[in-house]
């Protein structure tokens, strides 16, 4: 190889490994592996690229891995100031490496100081990211449970007055005040009386709205944490942006009436982006207040970012799937919150729970709930094992750690004097969302069995439960088990979700009325992923204030980090185009744009009547042979097709891309797919001579549907921009 190519190869490999570290690629990790750092010392002056290759070869040689497995184990390669790498290794494999002469040391990677909200850094979106002067003019409307205006995340120090185009109001009930950061606030309870436990003002008595709002626009707050957990600097995606609050959710839920009213006001007030972490099911787009509200927002050039629900692993569990919505799944970051449980025999388990306090390592008697039935109340082990209300004997449980066979809120053991609870996990539920009132550790079924065996085979079993802590998860990102899955139940040939964003164990601001002990809290859900995409969308908007909602969506979708189905077998039906990458979305190269008329054509093709659409659009829109388009031709940045299992298929799409990169540029089509899927792009080269120039192309798919999901990809590349669109064929 020409020696002049080595620097290029070096840079390319460095980029690939860095991208792999950010993406995590979702590879499956064996339980006995953990992250290790292999330090190799100072970087030789003459090294140009080869050490990168040597890291994989070293793993192959030292511990007998295949080339593919060695590559999968590598987390990151250090090549700039010194040499070394990080990899997933077992303790035995680490010992083998330690004996090699060319290595300085091999040691486990410990979690020391974690930075918050780590989610933005994890996405490759650091504090040093470029900022547009227009960011302070971007207004984000959040439809949620309200906001706690006194939080440091919403301090308006240094802010000027709101943009002159702002038309909103501030409902200053119950000592609620706006400022130059929170420039508008409304509350809605248009039906029935407001309960005594609720506050008739935009003030947040729950915490959820404060949390989501601070993820989007929160100011920089140093030393933020939940009782010392996840300590660092809290910040939103667009810290200089303004926020308007629309409180529609109360202790009795969120009314559709209130939701639609909030959309109406937000559009009129002049917001630029709407964020809504609320959902529901409907068999028609126009029987869904969120689909309706967001459609009208789209007409006014306002993008709506929405959560897709916490329905778990079931197909078709997705909510908020209208094509004009940005639909977001929830995925992990490389910080995993655990609650360790330790038994008297020294065995420890990394359980799940959000414990702001622990038992400080002190060992307490351990009792299995099945051995502590409240016999006097007529209960036996069949019921007490689950820690049901009234089934436990207080005298037997008092002062002990209780092992329960089922997931509970731990209130029953607490009432009878337990000091802690170890319990089994309940399906896809994430125990970190629960505010337990005593130390808890939620374990998987195998670990729960081990605790049970110990409790029943030891004369004086003991246990302790620790305060929660953050540990490194090298396998991130992967989609959370609670995150709803596609496909789109109304328009199955539109891929949903669009993409995924951090939504697991995220630290952000909180209302003291939701929990008087904390001002920042850690919770999970697609409702937490949604404001991350809202923040990213607002970031893109700040640089491109005239871009349409579809253009912003396209930029986010086509620049997302690719993810792997090894951790999420539902593939694109779990994570859409992949994991959001805010910085890359600033320079997408090409965009798939769409306007109201494009959605109208799609709706005509989906069977909506002219009379209905004229009411929706407020004009003389009609479904005719000339505009009756198929959903396959909606100018969407992804490609999906539903077919019958075991059958051959063939389908085609038409798309138009707009050049927002270099004026004179040429893009080449790159396709990748398994042998069961043939992809033909015509033309496969697009040459542009000006900015905003448009080019059309067609995509033809052919194949045999013997797999439930067949994944491919189309990338338009000019050597600088890689405009990536997933192609997924799935069977009904």
Q: Looking at the structure, do residues 434 and 409 belong to the same domain, yes or no? A: yes
Contacts of 687 by beta carbon, 8 Å cutoff, 6+ apart: 665, 666, 667, 695
Asked if residue 27 is part of any domain, the answer here is: no
Catalytic residue among 144, 204, 256, 269: 144
Could you tell me the residue range of the domain that residue 40 belongs to? 34-108
- CATH code, domain carrying 300: 3.40.50.200
Is there a contact between 369 and 384 (Cβ–Cβ < 8 Å)? yes
Is there a contact between 380 and 481 (Cβ–Cβ < 8 Å)? no
Looking at residue 28, its pLDDT comes to 42
DSSP string, 434-481: S--SS-EEEE-HHHHHHHHHHHHH-SS-EEEEPPPEEEE-TT---B-T
Phi, psi of 3 (to 5 degrees): -60, -25
Instruction: Show the tokens assigned to 473.
Output: 């998860």
Instruction: Tell me if residue 593 is catalytic.
Output: no
Phi, psi of 217 (to 5 degrees): -125, 10
> Dihedral of the CA atoms 319, 321, 325, 329 (nearest 10)?
60
Catalytic residue among 441, 464, 483, 527: 527
Q: Looking at the structure, do residues 286 and 143 belong to the same domain, yes or no? A: yes
Helix (H, G, I), strand (E, B) or coil at 265: helix
Asked if residue 120 is part of any domain, the answer here is: no
Asked if residue 609 is part of any domain, the answer here is: no
- CATH code, domain carrying 670: 2.60.40.2310
| pTM (2 d.p.) | 0.82
Distance CA 681, CA 320 (A): 31
Instruction: Show the tokens assigned to 717.
Output: 């590349």
Q: Looking at the structure, do residues 163 and 218 belong to the same domain, yes or no? A: yes
Instruction: Tell me if residue 144 is catalytic.
Output: yes
Asked if residue 487 is part of any domain, the answer here is: yes
Cα-based distances in Å from 42 to 13, 102, 105, 145, 513: 19, 12, 13, 54, 53
Q: Which of 472, 334, 401, 441 is nearest to 33 (CA)?
A: 472
- CATH code, domain carrying 401: 3.50.30.30
Asked if residue 493 is part of any domain, the answer here is: yes
Give the helix ranges, DSSP H, for 183-325: 208-217, 256-269, 289-299
Contacts of 626 by beta carbon, 8 Å cutoff, 6+ apart: none
| pLDDT block averages, 10 residues each, the chain of length 732 | 36 39 41 74 53 73 81 70 72 84 67 45 86 94 97 97 97 92 94 87 95 97 93 95 96 87 93 94 84 91 95 90 97 94 96 92 96 95 94 96 92 91 75 76 93 96 96 92 94 97 95 90 93 98 97 98 92 97 97 95 86 75 76 96 96 98 97 97 98 98 96 97 98 89
Is there a contact between 366 and 384 (Cβ–Cβ < 8 Å)? no
Catalytic residue among 208, 296, 532, 721: 208
Instruction: Tell me if residue 707 is catalytic.
Output: no
Q: Tally the domains of the chain.
A: 4
Q: Which of 554, 551, 506 is nearest to 526 (CA)?
A: 506
Distance CA 534, CA 536 (A): 5
Looking at residue 41, its pLDDT comes to 62
* Domain final position from 415, 439, 472: 472
Asked if residue 169 is part of any domain, the answer here is: yes
> Dihedral of the CA atoms 357, 445, 403, 517 (nearest 10)?
20
Asked if residue 14 is part of any domain, the answer here is: no
Q: Looking at the structure, do residues 650 and 534 belong to the same domain, yes or no? A: no
Q: Looking at the structure, do residues 221 and 147 belong to the same domain, yes or no? A: yes
Helix (H, G, I), strand (E, B) or coil at 68: helix
* Domain final position from 444, 472, 500: 472
Q: Looking at the structure, do residues 327 and 376 belong to the same domain, yes or no? A: no
Q: Which of 176, 123, 187 is nearest to 150 (CA)?
A: 176
Asked if residue 557 is part of any domain, the answer here is: no
Alpha carbon 138 to its chain's center: 23
Place of tokens 């943009």: 163
Q: Looking at the structure, do residues 103 and 48 belong to the same domain, yes or no? A: yes
* Domain final position from 438, 472, 506: 472
Distance CA 18, CA 609 (A): 51
- CATH code, domain carrying 100: 3.30.70.80
Is there a contact between 469 and 337 (Cβ–Cβ < 8 Å)? yes
Looking at residue 67, its pLDDT comes to 82
Q: Which of 93, 94, 74, 96 is nearest to 85 (CA)?
A: 74
Q: Looking at the structure, do residues 315 and 349 belong to the same domain, yes or no? A: no
Q: Looking at the structure, do residues 251 and 156 belong to the same domain, yes or no? A: yes
Q: Looking at the structure, do residues 389 and 298 belong to the same domain, yes or no? A: no
Q: Looking at the structure, do residues 360 and 457 belong to the same domain, yes or no? A: yes
Find the distance separating the first CA and the last CA of the chain, reported in whole Å: 50
Q: Looking at the structure, do residues 265 and 385 belong to the same domain, yes or no? A: no
Helix (H, G, I), strand (E, B) or coil at 416: coil
Distance CA 704, CA 725 (A): 21
CA angle 662, 668, 671 (to 5 degrees): 135
Instruction: Show the tokens assigned to 256.
Output: 């559709």
Helix (H, G, I), strand (E, B) or coil at 123: coil
């Amino acid at each position: 190889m020409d020696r002049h190519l080595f620097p290029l190869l070096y840079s390319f490999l460095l980029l690939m490994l860095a991208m792999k570290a950010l993406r995590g690629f979702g590879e499956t990790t064996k339980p006995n592996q953990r992250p290790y750092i292999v330090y190799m010392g100072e970087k030789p002056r003459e090294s140009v690229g080869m050490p990168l290759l040597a890291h994989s070869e070293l793993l192959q040689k030292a511990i007998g891995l295949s080339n593919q497995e060695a590559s999968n184990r590598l987390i990151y390669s250090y090549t700039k100031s010194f040499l070394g790498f990080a990899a997933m290794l077992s303790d035995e494999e680490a010992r083998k490496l330690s004996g090699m002469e060319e290595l300085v040391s091999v040691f486990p990677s410990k979690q020391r100081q974690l930075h918050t909200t780590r989610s933005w850094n994890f996405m490759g979106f650091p504090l040093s990211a470029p900022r547009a002067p227009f960011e302070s003019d971007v207004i984000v409307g959040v439809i949620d449970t309200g906001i706690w205006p006194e939080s440091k995340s919403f301090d308006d120090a240094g802010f000027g007055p709101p943009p002159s185009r702002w038309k909103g109001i501030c409902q200053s009930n119950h000592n609620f005040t706006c400022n130059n950061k929170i420039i508008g606030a409304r509350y809605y309870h248009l039906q029935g009386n407001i309960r005594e436990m609720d506050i008739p003002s935009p003030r947040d008595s729950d915490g959820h709205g404060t949390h989501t709002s601070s993820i989007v626009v929160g100011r920089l707050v140093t030393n933020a944490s939940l009782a010392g957990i996840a300590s660092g600097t809290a910040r939103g995606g667009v810290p200089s942006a303004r926020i308007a609050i629309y409180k529609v959710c109360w202790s009795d839920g969120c009314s559709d009436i209130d939701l639609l009213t909030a959309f109406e006001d937000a559009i009129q007030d002049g917001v630029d982006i709407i964020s809504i972490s609320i959902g529901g099911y409907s068999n028609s787009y126009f029987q869904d207040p969120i689909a309706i509200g967001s459609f009208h927002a789209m007409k006014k050039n306002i993008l709506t970012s929405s959560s897709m629900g916490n329905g778990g692993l079931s197909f078709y569990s997705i909510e908020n799937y209208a094509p004009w919505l940005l639909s977001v799944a929830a995925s992990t970051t490389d910080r995993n919150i655990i609650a360790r449980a330790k038994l008297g025999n020294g065995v420890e388990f990394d359980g799940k729970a959000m414990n702001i306090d622990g038992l400080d390592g002190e060992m307490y008697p351990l009792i299995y709930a099945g051995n502590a039935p409240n016999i006097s109340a007529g209960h036996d082990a069949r019921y007490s094992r689950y820690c049901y209300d009234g089934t436990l004997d207080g005298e037997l449980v008092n002062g002990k750690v209780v092992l329960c066979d089922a997931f509970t809120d731990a209130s029953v053991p607490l009432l009878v004097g337990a000091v802690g609870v170890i319990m089994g996990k309940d399906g896809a539920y994430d125990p970190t969302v629960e505010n337990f009132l005593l130390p808890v550790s939620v374990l998987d079924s195998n670990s729960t069995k081990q605790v049970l065996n110990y409790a029943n085979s030891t004369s004086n079993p003991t246990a302790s439960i620790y305060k929660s802590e953050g540990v490194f998860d090298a396998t991130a990102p992967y989609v959370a088990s609670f995150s709803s899955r596609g496909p789109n139940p109304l328009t199955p040939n539109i891929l949903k979700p669009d993409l995924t964003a951090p939504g697991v164990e995220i630290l952000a601001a909180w209302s003291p009325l939701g929990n008087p002990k904390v001002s920042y809290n850690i919770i999970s859900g697609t409702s937490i992923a949604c404001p991350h995409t809202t923040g990213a969308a607002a970031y893109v908007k700040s640089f491109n204030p005239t871009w349409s909602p579809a253009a912003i969506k396209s930029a986010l979708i086509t620049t997302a980090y690719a993810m792997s189905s090894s951790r999420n077998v539902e593939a694109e039906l779990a994570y859409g185009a992949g994991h959001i990458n805010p910085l890359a979305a600033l320079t997408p190269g090409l965009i798939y744009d769409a306007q109201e008329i494009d959605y109208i054509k799609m709706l005509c093709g989906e069977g909506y009547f002219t009379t209905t659409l004229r009411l929706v659009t407020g004009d003389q829109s009609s479904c005719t042979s000339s505009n009756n388009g198929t959903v396959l031709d909606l100018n969407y940045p992804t490609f999906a097709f539903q077919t019958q299992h075991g059958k051959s298929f063939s389908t085609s799409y038409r798309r138009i891309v707009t050049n927002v990169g270099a004026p004179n540029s040429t893009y080449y089509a790159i396709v990748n797919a398994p042998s069961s899927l043939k992809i033909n792009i015509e033309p496969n080269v697009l040459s542009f001579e000006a900015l905003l120039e448009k080019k059309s192309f067609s995509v033809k798919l052919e194949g045999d549907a013997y797999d439930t999901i067949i994944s491919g990809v189309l990338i338009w590349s000019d050597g600088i921009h890689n405009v990536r669109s997933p192609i997924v064929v799935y069977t009904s």
